[in-house]
Structures are given as structure tokens and as C-alpha cells.
Chain A
Amino acid sequence: MVGLLRFCLWQQAQYPLAVSSVRTSRKAVLLGGAYLPPTHPLLSNWKFRNVQWMVTTTRRRRRVRESRCGTVKEEEEEDSSSTAGVMGASPIQLLLVSDLDSTMVDHTDPYHTALLRFNNLWAAEYAHNSLLVYSTGRSPHKYEELHQQVPLLTPSIGIFSVGTEILYGSSLEPDQGWVSLLDDGWDRGVALKELQRFTNLRMQDASEQRPHKISCQVDSKDAQDIMKKLSERLQDCGLKVKIVFSHGIDLDVLPQRAGKGEALAYLLQKMRSKGQIPQNTLVCGDSGNDIELFLVEGVRGVIVGNALPELVEWYKEHGKNKDKIFQATERCASGILQSLQHFSLGPHLSPRDRMGLNGIDSPILPSESRNGRPAMHGCAQREVVEFNTLFEKWINAEVPNNAETFQRLTRVIARGSTMVYPWGVEQSLVDSVSSAQPKYGIMKDNKLRTWIDCIQEQKLADEIFLVTWHSWQISAGGEKKGYFATAILRTKEGMPNGVEWVRVHETARK
């Protein structure tokens, strides 16, 4: 909301480029910060610095408690007190595990239209009860690079470096259990020495060399031969490895038990042991190193429309189990959205899809929500996403320019409500929103793209919701800005999502 109003009111704002990391009070972090809903079983039993926005309900974390006498005690504790909140004890509706390059991210589309549609749908309909997991060949370093360039959401869990690293939380805690598993039968030094005997293997960048991954490049004509020979050599050395060839050039040497599929299976097993299996698991991929994902038991899969021949071939030969695997016709994230509809996993129409030049379709009414939420649950969150989406479309001239459309924005603002803008000004919200009406289409030649990350809704009282989120925007010039946003909404009959806005506060991210 802020960025949109900013463009409307001050078109020459000068803001330093926002860094896409969430900084904890202890140390700066590499990634955009991970978000796990508080009831998540993976939050127990290891050191995890959770800096998610608001603690909604049950929260398991390490606490340092100082008694009144001043002695310090450290306790590992499960806080099972129930507070009014979003998650409660509700199960994970959907575990969505997606590859990044050419699956979630379409590198041929500089505007990332499909990804923004996905982000929009996720924030509005899934963020409160589902988990987003990225499973990528990229190292954390390369992931961070991608995150800077592309409008990616913050995942709950990151599986990096071709399934050799499982990292949680904004402090990127590695899963120690996974590390131990991979150490078995692995000796990086030995493997590297053997690799270096093969002269037609070229090493990738230093950032791609990870504790449990050695990455090279080889011409595809040599690939099969080298893989066979290398495999034999390393086996002779007593190592248990696997060798993965993908994208027609990349060759990765990993511990045998590593891999995207293995990492996912490990995670699912862990969830199972806590009695928290997701109701549905969807994996998404486009290339060779995603094959394993589709093989994990119990999952559904989508092969995106632009998948590489190596994956399509595999599907033709092995994946004929059409119940479980869907070959999308559309590219990248659009293909993922197609699969949500195909498998009936939940809502597949984002506010972006519902609002267009044909007008604004009425939202899915709370009572019709498929995920079985209580009537008002998640409505404040959806209101935030819808409002911001419509605002963006208004200034991009992507919705009809009429009073009826604009009224959707003004009618949901409570009288007397106020907003604090990140440039340090506090104003009446009614006035600010109204002043945007004449700004229809000011960005139509230079579209502004926005998205919402880490959105969380908390019920403060019967009629009061606190919604917090990270707001991002990127202009056509590529300048990316981020804000921490907070809003208080109150139930109001007759409003599109049953709530009205009372207060908004935004701060620019460091």
C-alpha cells in the first residue's frame, strides 16, 4: 500500500535501495528470512531463532528467563498456551515444494507476471495455513542473488545446493540431523581429488562448492561417459555418492543420500514423527534434478510447461501415473497455478486474477472458503492483499477507471483512521486513499509491481485483527524497495471481506 500511495503522492521519493534481508537483533542474515507458522513441528528441538512477525499461538522456542532474584535460567520450552490466533492447532493444508530456476522463476519474463500471480495467491489464500519450500540446485549465495533480482516470497524452508542443505529460519540454521545423514559415506577431499583427474570437467564458481556438494560443468556429449567412470572411481574409494547431470551442462557430486527427493522425504518423515503430515504435498519442477521430487511417496507433482526434455522424457517413460503427476501447459509459476486447480488443492484464483479490465469479481466469501476456516478467519489477511492489489492495478490502469471500482478502496476505510508512512508523515487514511483517485494510470507506461511477503494475521479481540507483512515493490527501472507494514482492521458488516481498516503503519526496511 505504501509504495502505491507513495507514487501517487510523491513521485520523486528518494529511498535507498532496500536490502532484501531481515535483520535479527543478533546478526545480519543472508536470505530473506524464513517464516514458519508457530505450530510447525520442525520448530521444536533445535536452536531456532524465530523472528517471524507476531507470535500467534503455540510457539516452541528457547527462552532465557530471568527470575525476580536475578538468577538466569535457560529453558528449552514448549509454550502450548493457546491464544487467539491464526494457526491454532490447524494442520498444514498444503506443502508446496518448488524448484526455482525455470519453475517458480521464469527468466524469460522480465516482469515476472506469473510469479507475481503466484505470490498474490499465496499471500491471500495460503500463507496462513500452508508451507512454501524452495528446493533448488542453487547454493545459499546464489539464492540470495536471485532473491535480490526477482520477486520471490520468503519460504518456510530452503532446501539448497541440490538437496544437500536444509536451512531454517532467518538465522539459516542447518538441520543437524540432515548433516549427519549426509556425512555418512562422504569425504569431500577424496571426491575432489578424483574429480580433478578428469580433464574435461570444469569447476563451477567457489560459491557453488558446498560442504556436501562438488559442482562442475561438462559438455553433454561427454556427460554419460564421465558419470560412469567417475562413479566407479569414487565407489572404489569407498565413498557413497550420487552424480547428477542437469541443464545439459551441470554436474553435481553429492553424498548418496542427498538430493532434492531425499531431502523432501526426510522432511516429510520428520513431520510424520510429530504427527503433522501436510494434507497435501505438491512438488514442482522443470529439469533433471527435480525427478527425485516426483518419486517421493505420497506427493503430487507438476511438470511446468517449459520443462526441459530430460524431465519430459522421464515423464513419458516412467511417470505415466497421471493421477499423481500433471504436465502443465503454461510456463513456470503459471503452471503451478494450473496444477492447484487440476488437483483441487485449494483456491487457484488470486486477487490479481479476479481484478482486471473486466472489473472486480467478488471475492470468495468466507463461508465458501474451501479450507474450512471459521467464517472470519483469514479475512483481514485477504483484505490486505486485495486492497494492495487493486491499488497497484489502479495506478497501472489495469482495472476500469470508474467510481465503482475506486469505491472498493474508499469504502473499507474507517472514519478517523490514520496511517504512518515510511517517510515519516502521519495522515488521515481516508484523505490519502481518496487523493489517489485522480492518479489512475500514472504508472501505466512504466508499471509498478508489488507483492506481499510473510503476511500474518492475529486476532486481538472478537472484532479486531492485527495483520503484519513485508511489503515490496519494484519499478520498471528495477529499483526494489521493502517496508515492514502493520495494520489494524476491525470487523464491519457489508464490507467485501467483512473488515474495515483502522490504522496502518509502515517503516522502510534497513
Chain B
Amino acid sequence: MEFMGAPRLMIVSDLDSTMVDHADHESKSLLRFGALWQAEYNHDSLLVFSTGRSPTLYFELRSEVPLLTPGIAIMSVGTEIMYGDTMTPDYGWVEELSQGWDRSAVVEVANEMQLKYQCDSEQRPHKVSFHVKKEESVHVIPMLTQKLEARGLNIKLIYSGGLDLDVLPKAAGKGQALAYLLRKLKSEGRSPAQTLVCGDSGNDAELFSVPGVRGVIVGNAQEELLHWHEQHVGDKSHIFCATERCAAAIIQAMEHFDIQPNLSPRDRPVPRTVHDKLAPKADAISVAHEVVEYLMLLEQWLRGDVEGTDEVFNRLKFSLAEDSNRVCAWGILENPHEHINCLRHHHGSQKGKLFHIWADRVRSVRLSDDTWLVRFDKWERSDKALTCALTTSLLQANKDFPNGVYWKFIHETWLSGYEGTVPIRKI
């Protein structure tokens, strides 16, 4: 069910301090972007993460913040490309990188210079990574470059964050990886209609140079990237310097470049009744909206971010068909209405606490004129736990509901490694 066509929009974004704001422990803007993506774009667009992190650190990040699942992950500063849910590596890219690359030679030279290595997980087949202080970088970088080239190696050095130095094959790098990806997509007839790249630091500079893309430099960008932007010669109209931080900047850029739609479901109240929306019809988008909005409303109810009235509660309750069934991840078969009735008394129970519910990998298949099969991951995060339930659901067209559909069936299983331990709400 993963989208395999030509994307309407491709977003290529750095992670640390671009998609992910480490200064915000609630990850508000990331959740806003996530809701927008799942509701409006996941079904026909492509999300690509391009990060300096190695796979190990990438997976670590995923368990720390509410990060979406990308269609493609470019890791280790553009030296590793992995596709889809199964994270299948791109071996063609590996081959391209191997030309003129000799890892052991790099290590030898680095040892001679007594450079400080980053941790083991960051040392990858086509990446050797060090920590170099800003003051020292001025002479270390040219010297290292010279020594490696003297050995006949085809390398490039990338310095970012005022600390991280990566030695990569010349053909590597975020920009090259993106260019490779675009070539590949083109050859498969999957060229994106538009591409937006997003970055904050030195190793993102190349992204903006890839022909045909638009770019956003986030409001909290590092000096080195701003400096690059200043120094850059030529037409810069395709680059937007945002004022907002991180993922909020990406949404800002979408507004700036008039990439529609760009209003996140989290930025407006959840429609309560069918009158709140014009002519609802059941299609892939409205089905995705229903999933995203329903989970949002659940979160808002429990956090007390929405009033505890009958109107809101009924929206939660009656969107579930009376004869619907749910196999909850605890291994219990239940009537969803009973579960919702219990929830009534938990309005605001999570007020003031870290608590979020969000949907990821929302994918739908139209089974018939009025029935949709939707699979999604239902994530829930609190101070105590991060849990995820793989969910299969059936939604059926119904004109009485804001998104034109209601829930007929839900079946959940805990995602391996993210099992719930204690029911947050009593069943």
C-alpha cells in the first residue's frame, strides 16, 4: 500500500534542528507538520529525510521524537540510501560511492594527524567521522584534504555544526544523493511535480544547489549555512529564509511557495459535525483526515485542550458505528462504544502533562464504492511510555459525518518494541 507513483510533492529534509526541534520537548511543530503530511500528502507524495546521522542514531531519534516514517531515508551524510518500510539499501548507490574510495587509507591519515573520532555507530562504510573544534578546523581541514588527495583518494570533507567533520567519497553528500535519487525517480517515471528541500547547517548547503528544487533555510539555521547563502552567487529566488524554527519553517515555506494545502489539522479546530465541512465526500483524503483528526481529538480530549461537552464527546463516540468492533492491542475484543464511554470521565486527565497521540503511515485502499481499508500506526507518547499500535481499520461512507465516513472496524497489534505496558485508560 506504500505510494509508488510520481509524487505530487517531494520534501527532502534534514532532521536535527530542521525537522526536529531539540529545544521543544513537546515537538509541537513536528506534530503540526506530521498531521499535515498524513492528512494531505502521504497518499500521493514522498517524504525524504536526509540526515548526517547513521542508521543507529537515526533509529534512536525515532524513539525520542514523534518523527514520521519517510518514504526514503538518506543517512550518514548522503552515503546510505534506504527505501520504504523495509529500509532496503540502495546497492547501486553503494557502487557509485566505492569508486576512488579507500576507507582504511583515510583512517591511516587521520590516525597520523591524531584526529578525534566520533563514536563507533557513526563510522560507516563510506563515512569516517571526527569531532574537530571550530578553532582547529581552520588548519585541520585543508591539511587533511591535502594529505588524502596526495594518496590519490577522491574525497570530500564536510564540516558542520561547528564540530562534526565527515570524510566522504567525492560522489557522496546530501546534494549528490538527492541528485542520484532524482535521476533514479526520473528513470522510473516517478519524477516529483515539485521538490522542496529543507536544511539548517553546513552539510545541507548542497541540497539547495540541486537543479529544479526549491529550498527553505529554517529560522534557526546555523551561521555556516546563512553564510553560504549570503556568499552564494546567482539566482536565489528558489530559496526561502524562514523566520520560524524547524518544522514550522517548512510549513511557512509551503505557504511562501504556495504549495497547497498547507494548513495543518493541528492548526484549526477538529470539525465536530457535518455542518463544519462543505459537502463531505468519501475519498482517500477525507479518509486520511478522519484518521488524523480522530486521533487528534482523542488527544485534545484527554489533555483538556478541547471543551468537555456533549458535542465533542458525541463526535468521538458516534463516529464509531454502533455495531462496530475493535480488537484492541491488549488482546481483547470489545465494543468501541463501551471504551469511549469510559473515556468520558477522563476529560483533561492528561492536562499539563506530556501527552500526544498521532498517526503515521496512514495508507488507504478503496475496497468498494463506500468501504475503505485504512492501515495506520497509532502512536501514543507520555512521560512514562512511547507506544505504537499497528492498526487495520475499515471506514465506510456516511454523509452524516464531517469527513463523510465513519468507523466500522478496528484491529490493533502492538508494534514490536513499542508495546503498551499499562492501559492508560481503563477498559
Residues of chain B with a CB closer than 8 A to A51's CB: 333-335
Min CB distance B315 to A, Å, is 11
B414–A424 CB distance below 8 A: yes
The total of chain B residues at the interface (CB under 8 A) is: 41
A25–B413 CB distance below 8 A: no
Tell which of B338, B413, B419 has the most Cβ of chain A within 10 Å.
B413
Provide the bound-state CA to CA distance between A424 and B390, in Å.
7
B411–A507 CB distance below 8 A: yes
Provide the bound-state CA to CA distance between A463 and B310, in Å.
38
Interface-facing stretch out of B163-171, B191-199, B366-374: B366-374
A24 at the binding interface (Cβ < 8 Å): yes
Min CB distance A158 to B, Å, is 19
A319 at the binding interface (Cβ < 8 Å): no
Min CB distance A10 to B, Å, is 11
The 8 A CB mask of B327-347 against A (1 = contact, 0 = none) is 111111111001100000000
Chain B, range 340-381, C-beta contacts under 8 Å to A:
365, 367-371, 373, 375
A-B interface pairs (CB < 8 A), number: 105
Query: Which one, A23, A66, A425, A502, contacts B416 given CB within 8 A?
Result: A425
Provide the bound-state CA to CA distance between A481 and B370, in Å.
36
Q: A51-B333, A463-B368 are known contacts. Are A507 and B373 too (CB-CB below 8 A)?
A: no
Q: A486-B327, A490-B367 are known contacts. Are A426 and B390 too (CB-CB below 8 A)?
A: yes
B412 at the binding interface (Cβ < 8 Å): yes
B392–A486 CB distance below 8 A: yes
Provide the bound-state CA to CA distance between A184 and B253, in Å.
82
Tell which of A25, A51, A460, A488 has the most Cβ of chain B within 10 Å.
A25
B332–A464 CB distance below 8 A: no
A54–B367 CB distance below 8 A: no
For chain A, give the interface size range: 35 or more
Query: Which one, B329, B365, B371, B413, contacts A461 given CB within 8 A?
Result: B371
A416–B1 CB distance below 8 A: yes
The 8 A CB mask of B54-92 against A (1 = contact, 0 = none) is 000000000000000000000000000000010000000
Provide the bound-state CA to CA distance between A502 and B394, in Å.
13
The 8 A CB mask of B373-397 against A (1 = contact, 0 = none) is 1010000000000000010101000
Residues of chain A with a CB closer than 8 A to B416's CB: 423-425
A424–B369 CB distance below 8 A: no
A502–B415 CB distance below 8 A: no
Chain A, range 8-30, C-beta contacts under 8 Å to B:
22-26
Query: Which one, B330, B365, B415, contacts A424 given CB within 8 A?
Result: B415
Residues of chain A with a CB closer than 8 A to B413's CB: 420-422, 424, 505-508
B427 at the binding interface (Cβ < 8 Å): yes
The 8 A CB mask of A424-445 against B (1 = contact, 0 = none) is 1110000000000000000000
A484–B371 CB distance below 8 A: no
Provide the bound-state CA to CA distance between A53 and B333, in Å.
8
Q: Kindly list 13 other residue pairs between chains A and B, CB separation below 8 angstroms, not including A486-B392, A505-B411.
A: A24-B333, A25-B427, A51-B333, A55-B325, A63-B322, A66-B314, A418-B375, A420-B390, A424-B415, A464-B367, A464-B371, A507-B331, A510-B330
The 5 A-B pairs of least Cβ separation, nearest first, read A461-B368, A424-B416, A510-B331, A55-B323, A25-B334
Listed by A's residue number, 12 A-B pairs whose Cβ atoms lie within 8 Å are A24-B333, A25-B334, A69-B310, A418-B375, A420-B411, A423-B416, A424-B417, A461-B367, A484-B327, A505-B392, A507-B328, A507-B329
Which A positions have Cβ atoms within 8 angstroms of B? 22-26, 51, 53-55, 59, 63, 66, 68-70, 416, 418, 420-426, 460-464, 466, 468, 484, 486, 488, 490, 502-503, 505-510
